[in-house]
Structure formats: structure tokens, C-alpha cells
Amino acid sequence: MQSSLKKSLYLGLAALSFAGVAAVSTTASAKSYATAGAYSTLKTDATKRNVEATGTNALYTKPGTVKGAKVVASKATMAKLASSKKSADYFRAYGVKTTNRGSVYYRVVTMDGKYRGYVYGGKSDTAFAGGIKSANTTTAATTPARTTGYYLKDASKNTIWTAPKNTQYKASKVSLYGVAKDTKFTVDQAATKTREGSLYYHVTATNGSNVSGWVYAGKGYDSTITDNTKQDLGGLSLTASDAVATSDNSVKVVYRANGAQVGTATWITTATTTKAGQTVGDAANGAKGTDNQNAAGVNLTNFVNNNLPTGYTPATTTATYTGTYGNTVYVDVVAAATSKIQLKADTVTNTVDSKDVTLTSPLTPGTKLSASDLSVTLSAAAIKALSGEKSTQIGETNLKAIAAGFDTNAIEGAKTYYTADGSAYHYQFTFEPNTFATDNRTANYGDTLTGSFTAQLVEGAATKTASDSSWIA
């Protein structure tokens, strides 16, 4: 009987234990999921709904706490998108759902469409929080000093966008129907892509076609550059682009050094009635002799000289070039070298108002000067005269041409010098043109020339900026 009782108690306790374990197991597997309310489309201005990931929350196919939600982009991936330097990794928010727990999930898509899903957005459906935050995909930039007379550099490569690419969702290319190579544009806005820092101009065609939009603008218009062909304007240009070269409108230029080809270029007329075999600028042409310029307004001779291969100069500097459409002009060139000029203080006067001034580190006669010492410039003609056939003598005529490119008036120094008691002074420099030809009479192209200056001490700190001149040694 005692044995029977023990057995009954054992079986009873075993049954109770099994029931308890089953109850615990059932409770543990019954995960509690949130439920999401109805989907709502966001109605505010779409451009005001650009957001970026914060990296604190993942992206899901459904609100993340709802049953069946799957990961589209992990938290780690969202962190990478948050620190990305690409505009394509911004998001556009366009819908919202709120769970029964009060959590707001926004429906978002990256600007390039790669990632789309729901991300936790805080507890309010009127402000972005949690896994996303508002983003300014572009930053306003200064409108250029020049706003008119722009052309598309190459409409097939550098097109116009409804917004700088990937700064707005589905930013697209603008139709260029009605835009020709000589269509002019005006600029009315400028902006940079916040992440990449690239500059864009908003342009509008002036030919009545109503074409407008954003185009990459390179470094932007620089008013200090006088040669418009050297402006870095990205997809824009300050000269109309050439037409496609054909045998009826173009002349090929071949540059030769010692009989070997070292470069080529193609000159294309703006005229539309010329034919192969006709002479450029011939009054008998259908263009009535007005076919002697390309889209940049440059004639064939100047085009030849403007497009010399790097490191070469014409064998005959005074040559005039002509040619016939569909044929080739051969231009003989020679290896070139460019000299630089070492500036020096030939004579130094440290006296002001007949009183000697003792500086802590004064200039002394023979001191070599650098671009940081003075605000000296050289004319374009003089800079050009620094280049010539390699290892040949520059000669007196060209040396005088270089010397004539200096300002012979007093040139303000760009450095401030001090006395022991802290009094400020600077130097005024005056170029010595008469000694330039003598000092460099045996110099060849490629040699460093000497440019001598007198230096006169002047009371007061320097107010001029230093030179930025590649011709200074």
C-alpha cells in the first residue's frame, strides 16, 4: 500500500510538472506582434520630403514590429547610407503607417531606387525622427558674375536635368528639342550637391524654346580668367560648339616634328554651304568668303597656333595657313622650352626720410625674391616670349619684348618687415629693364633668366597680396 501511494504521488507530480513545462513553452513561443494602421500617402511638397538615414534603424518590407516584416537594409547598411558621399543614397519619404503601439514607420525609397521599404520614424507622423532625418540635398551657391552668353558644350554628353542628378527622386533629363549648337542660355541660380560638392547652374534657353534646367558647371565662371577657352564650366561653354566634322566643312591639321606626326586637330567652319575642295575663305564659295571662322570665332591660322601640341612651337612663327575643305594642312613644329625668371633685389635701400632703419631681417643686395615677396605681374605677350625652340638663344629682340612686359612703376612688396620695437615696414620694388637684356644675353630657351629690381624701404605694413605667377623661378 505504501508502495502504491508513492507510485501515485510520483505519477501525479510528473503530470503536474509536464503541464507546467507545457504552459511555459506555450507562453514563450507566443511572440507579441504589433499591428499597423492604414497606409497614408504623404501630401506635403515632395521636395520637402528628402531624408537621409541616421543609421540607428534598419529598413523593412513592413513596419519592423509587424508580423512578417523582413529586412531590406540592415542597420549596418543604413549606417553606410547615412555616411555616404553620394546623393543617390538619400531617401524620399512618400508614405506612412502607425502601429497600435504608437510607432510611426515611413515608407521611403533611395534616390536611385535601390532600396525601398519602411523605416522607424519616431512617434509623430508630422516630423521625421528615429531612423531618418530631413536632408538638404543641395546647398545654394553664388550666382556667377556673368549670367548671359552660355552654350551647351556638347548636348549629347552634357545635358540639362530637372534637378541636379539624384538630388530629387526621379530627377530626369530635360528634352533638348529646339536647342541648337548656337543656342544661348542664361544662368539664374547656382547650387552645389551637398554630399559631392559639385556645382550646378540653373539655365534657361533664350531662343524661345522654354528649355530650362540644371547643368553641371565644373568650377564655375571665374571673372579673373580673361581667356574664355580656359574657363572650367563643366557642361557649359562661353563659345558655341563646332558642328560635326565632314569633308564639306572641315580642315584637318597635322603637326610634324622632323617629319614625324606629333599631334592633330580639326578646324570646322560655321558656314553651312561650303563643299569639299573649296578653299577656306574663298569669295567664290557658297558662303561668299565668310566661312573663315569656327564656332569660337577663330580663323584657321589662329586655330593652328592655338592648338599646338604640348611642348612644341611653330618652326615658322609668322606663317599664315590656308587650306581646302576635306583636306589636310601640315604644320612643321620644333621642340619648345619655356624659361622662368629669377627675381632678385639688385640694390636695397634701408633708409626712410634720410634715416637708417634697422630691421630684424632686412633684404640685402643680391637677395633672391620669390612670388610671395611682391605683387608683380608680366604681360601675356612677355610670357609668350619666354617660350621658343629648345636650346636656341632667346636673342636681344625677344629679351626686350620680355622686359617690356614688366611694370616699370613702383611695385608694392607683399611682405611686412619689423624693427626690434615692432614698427612695421615694407619694400617697394622697381624693375631694371636696361640691365635685363645684358644680364641674359647668352641665355637659351629653357634657361632661368635674371630679373633685377631696386628695393626701397617704405614705412607701414604691406597691403598687397603675393604674386601667383608660374613664370617666376
Q: What's 216's domain CATH number? A: 2.30.30.170
| 22 found inside a domain | no
Mean pLDDT of 99-115: 97
% of the chain beyond a pLDDT of 70? 91
CA angle 427, 430, 432 (to 5 degrees): 140
Quote the pLDDT of residue 159: 87
Please check whether residue 357 is in contact with residue 351, taking contact to mean a CB–CB distance below 8 angstroms. yes
Place 468 in a pLDDT band, splitting at 50, 70 and 90. low
Query: Is the pLDDT score of 151 beyond 50?
Result: yes
Residue 217 predicted with pLDDT over 90: yes
Residue 24 within any structural domain of the chain: no
Mean pLDDT, the chain, rounded, equals 88
DSSP letter at 38 equals -
pLDDT > 90 in the chain, percent: 67
Residues 295-317: tens digit of each pLDDT: 877 889 889 988 999 888 888 87
Q: Are residues 398 and 378 in the same domain?
A: yes
Confidence band, pLDDT 50/70/90 cuts, at residue 15: very low
Strand 387-389 relative to strand 411-412, pairing:
unpaired
CA distances for 266 relative to 269, 306, 310, angstroms: 10, 12, 16
pLDDT at 31: 66
- Same domain membership, residue 399 and residue 383: yes
Give the pLDDT band (50/70/90) at residue 289: low
Long-range CB contacts for residues 355-363, cutoff 8 Å, separation at least 24: 357/419, 357/425, 357/457, 358/419, 358/420, 359/417, 359/418, 359/419, 359/425, 359/457, 360/417, 360/418, 360/419, 360/420, 361/417, 362/417, 362/457, 363/417, 363/427, 363/455
Last residue of a domain, one of 335, 358, 374: 335
Residues 365 and 415 in one domain: yes
- On whether both 202 and 175 belong to a single domain, the answer is yes
* The three three-digit cell numbers of residue 324, written as one number: 581646302
Clarify whether residues 280 and 327 are in a common domain: yes
The answer to whether residue 10 scores a pLDDT higher than 70 is no
The residue from 240, 268, 302 where one domain ends is: 240
Residues 206, 301: one domain?
no
Mean predicted confidence (pLDDT) in 69-89: 97
Same domain, 260 and 319: yes
Question: 97 and 130, same structural domain?
Answer: yes
7 located within any domain:
no
Q: What DSSP assignment string belongs to 184-213? A: -EEEEEEEEETTT--EEEEEEESSSS--EE
pLDDT at position 11 is 35
Which range is least confidently modeled, 224-233, 341-350, 410-419? 224-233
Q: Give residue 465's pLDDT.
A: 82
Residues 145 and 127 in one domain: no
Query: Quick check: 68 pLDDT over 60?
Result: yes
Say what the pLDDT of residue 2 is: 39
pLDDT of residue 86: 97
Mean pLDDT for the stretch of residues 41-48:
95
Say if 10 falls within a structural domain.
Answer: no
**Residue keyed to cell 560638392:** 197
Q: CA-to-CA distance for 160 and 325, rounded, in angstroms?
A: 34
285 confidence band (pLDDT: 50, 70, 90): low
Whether the CA torsion 285, 290, 296, 298 is positive or negative: it is positive
4 membership: H or E segment, kind and range = helix 2-29
Residues 285 and 352 reside in one and the same domain: no
- E-assigned strands of 270-413? 312-314, 328-338, 340-349, 351-352, 355-356, 367-369, 387-389, 411-412
Domain span including residue 179: 137-240
Q: 39-48, 104-113, 129-138, 463-472 — which is least confidently predicted?
A: 463-472
Q: Looking at residues 175-192, what average pLDDT do you find? A: 91
CA distance 372 to 377: 12
Q: What are the tens digits of pLDDT across the range 184-207?
A: 999 999 999 999 999 999 999 999
CB atoms closer than 10 angstroms to residue 350: 18
pLDDT level of residue 356 (50, 70, 90 thresholds): very high
Domain count along the chain: 4
358 domain residue, yes or no: yes
262 located within any domain: yes
pLDDT over threshold 70, residue 41: yes
Q: Are residues 257 and 156 in the same domain?
A: no
pLDDT tier for residue 320 given thresholds of 50, 70 and 90: confident
Is 31 a member of any domain?
no
**Residue bearing the bigger pLDDT, 440 or 470:** 440
Instruction: Write down the pTM of the prediction.
Output: 0.58
Residue ending a domain, choose from 82, 107, 134: 134
Cα→Cα distances 282→66, 297, 354, Å: 81, 17, 69
- Is residue 246 predicted with pLDDT exceeding 50? yes
- For residue 444, what are the β-bridge partners? 393
pLDDT tens, residue by residue, 379-423? 888 988 898 888 899 999 999 999 999 988 889 999 999 999 999
Mean pLDDT across 32-43: 95
Q: Is 173 exposed, middle or buried (0-12, 13-18, 19+ CB in 10 A)?
A: exposed
Whether 81 is covered by a domain: the verdict is yes
Same domain, yes or no: 149 and 199: yes
Grid coordinates standing for 441?
644675353
- Tell me the mean pLDDT in the region 345-363: 94
